């Protein structure tokens, strides 16, 4: 440990001792003056700066119990504490300087006057413990067009957004590491917030590159305004509708910009090259109604053409359920057409050897139900009957299996 750091520890011990004496004597309101013969320590205390961890923690403790205006410099030859710390005999301790301090201490006007030039060398040593500052700037100006030169090698707009998001994450993590804030490091998959910020940066770059150089490219009949994100938006006649801002106030983008063309191309590819009516609310409602009609028709036909044709037999001799059978789970609060399908995975027998409970596998997971609540679908028997029937050709020849 260097000598300035050891002297800093001495200053910390001094403040702790003063607080202990004040607490014991109950004199917290009394004014206190602190003296140190280390110019480096005095620079650390009086100058506000971002110091390294060791110095920062101890300066923080000193400032918590004292004010930087209460600290003064005493030359080493006038420091009474050096009499004992450097070693001396008992006779030397009888000197007045050890018991009462320096003669000039009682009169404040005679305190040592230290010029700023005397601290020049000490200030250079003090700045060695200053934490390096890392500055990152990713703002996009007109002169930053070269930053997006790499986008020409990327075909998908989403890939450009993700790449820029990873670059911004790297810069943020580098700043956190430099400031020793490892708890704020970003890890894992990109978040929606990171992707949104990256996309916003790209859209701002497109608008600045196109309309920032020539405002005449904006059609004169467009009512353009600047939103809270700094994007240019166009006021439309749909302001009274209940649609979102993307319909009522769309973002103004040039039609022939490379990045805009990739955005349009990727959007068409995602939606299977949809036409201009892709986002029309009437078409969306029409498709939703169609899907609902198909679902209702399928449910009705399943009920009429299958469930209603299942035979209910009262024969005393019934084929027992076995593992692998497809069954319907009977529910009292639902119609038969709404009973869920399940597959028997395992059957549990009671002490009398009769099957009582079965473990079933459904679409949502596994569950256990009593045998009385299960209705076998009439598929296994029908398939077996069909397989037993002989297969003949058109000319009446029987095919042996």
**Listed residue (9, 32, 11) closest to 21, CA to CA:** 32
Which among 239-248, 324-333, 371-380, 388-397 has the top mean pLDDT?
A: 324-333
139 pLDDT band, cuts 50/70/90, is: very low
Instruction: Please report which confidence band the pLDDT of residue 140 belongs to, taking 50, 70 and 90 as the band edges.
Output: very low
Region 13-22: what's the mean pLDDT? 92
**Phi and psi at residue 373, to the nearest 5°:** -95, 5
Mean pLDDT, all residues of the chain: 78
Quickly state the pLDDT bin for 343 (edges 50, 70, 90): very high
Q: Which residues of 255-290 are buried (b: 16+ CB within 10 A; e: fewer)?
A: eeeebbebbeebeeeeeeeeeeeeeeeeeeeeeeee
**Rounded average pLDDT over 212-234:** 79
- pLDDT, residue 114, reads 65
Q: Is the pLDDT of residue 153 over 90?
A: no
Instruction: Reduce the secondary structure of 198-259 to three states and give it as a string.
Output: HHHHHHHHHHHHHCCCCHHHCCCCCEEEECCCCCEEEECCCCCCCCCHHHHCCECCCCCCHH
Compute the average pLDDT of residues 362-380.
Answer: 84
pLDDT digits (tens, 9 = 90+) for 162-194: 999 999 999 888 888 877 777 778 888 888 889
pLDDT at 136: 44
**Tell me, what's the pLDDT at 142?**
45
Spatial separation of the C-alpha atoms in residues 147 and 126, rounded to whole Å: 39
Q: What DSSP letter does each residue of 331-346 carry, written as one string?
A: -TTS-GGGPPEEEEEE
* Res 274 pLDDT > 80: no
What mean pLDDT comes out for the span 366-388?
72
Please state the rounded mean pLDDT for residues 349-355: 87
pLDDT in tens, 224-253: 788 888 888 887 766 555 555 666 788 888
What pLDDT is stored for residue 30 in this prediction?
85
Decide: pTM greater than 0.75.
Answer: no
Query: Alpha-carbon torsion 348, 352, 353, 354, what sign?
Result: negative
């Amino acid at each position: 440990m260097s000598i300035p750091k050891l002297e800093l520890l001495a200053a910390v011990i001094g403040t702790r001792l003063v607080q202990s004496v004040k607490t014991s004597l109950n004199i917290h309101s009394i004014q206190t003056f602190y003296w140190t013969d280390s110019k480096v320590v005095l620079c650390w205390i009086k100058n506000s700066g971002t110091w390294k961890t060791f110095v920062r923690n101890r300066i923080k403790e000193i400032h918590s119990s004292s004010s930087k205006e209460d600290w003064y410099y005493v030359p080493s030859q006038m420091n009474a504490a050096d009499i004992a710390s450097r070693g001396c005999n008992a006779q030397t301790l009888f000197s007045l300087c050890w018991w009462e301090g320096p003669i000039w201490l009682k009169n404040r006007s005679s305190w040592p006057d230290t010029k700023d030039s005397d601290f020049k060398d000490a200030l250079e040593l003090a700045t060695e413990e200053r934490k390096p500052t890392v500055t990152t700037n990713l703002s996009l100006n007109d002169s930053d067009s070269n930053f997006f030169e790499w986008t020409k090698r990327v075909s998908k707009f989403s890939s450009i957004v993700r790449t820029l998001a990873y670059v911004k994450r790297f810069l943020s993590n580098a700043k956190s590491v430099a400031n020793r804030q490892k708890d704020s490091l970003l890890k894992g998959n990109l978040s929606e917030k990171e992707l949104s910020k990256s996309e916003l940066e790209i859209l701002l770059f497109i608008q600045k590159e196109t309309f920032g150089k020539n405002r005449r490219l904006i059609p004169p009949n467009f009512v353009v305004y600047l939103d809270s994100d700094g994007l240019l938006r166009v006021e439309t006649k749909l302001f009274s509708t209940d649609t979102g801002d993307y319909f009522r106030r769309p973002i103004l983008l040039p039609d022939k910009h490379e990045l805009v063309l990739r955005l349009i191309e990727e959007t068409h590819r995602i939606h299977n090259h949809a036409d201009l009516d892709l986002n029309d609310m009437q078409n969306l409602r029409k498709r939703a109604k169609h899907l609902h009609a198909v679902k209702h028709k399928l449910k009705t036909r399943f009920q009429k053409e299958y469930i209603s044709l299942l035979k209910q037999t009262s024969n005393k001799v019934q084929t027992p359920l076995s593992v692998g059978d497809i069954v319907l789970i009977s529910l009292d609060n639902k119609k038969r057409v709404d009973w869920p399908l399940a597959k028997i995975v395992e059957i549990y027998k009671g002490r009398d050897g009769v099957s009582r409970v079965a473990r079933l596998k459904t679409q949502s997971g596994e569950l256990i139900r009593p045998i009385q609540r299960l209705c076998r679908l009439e598929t296994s028997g029908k398939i077996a009957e069909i397989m037993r029937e002989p297969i003949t050709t058109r000319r009446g020849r029987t095919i042996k299996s």
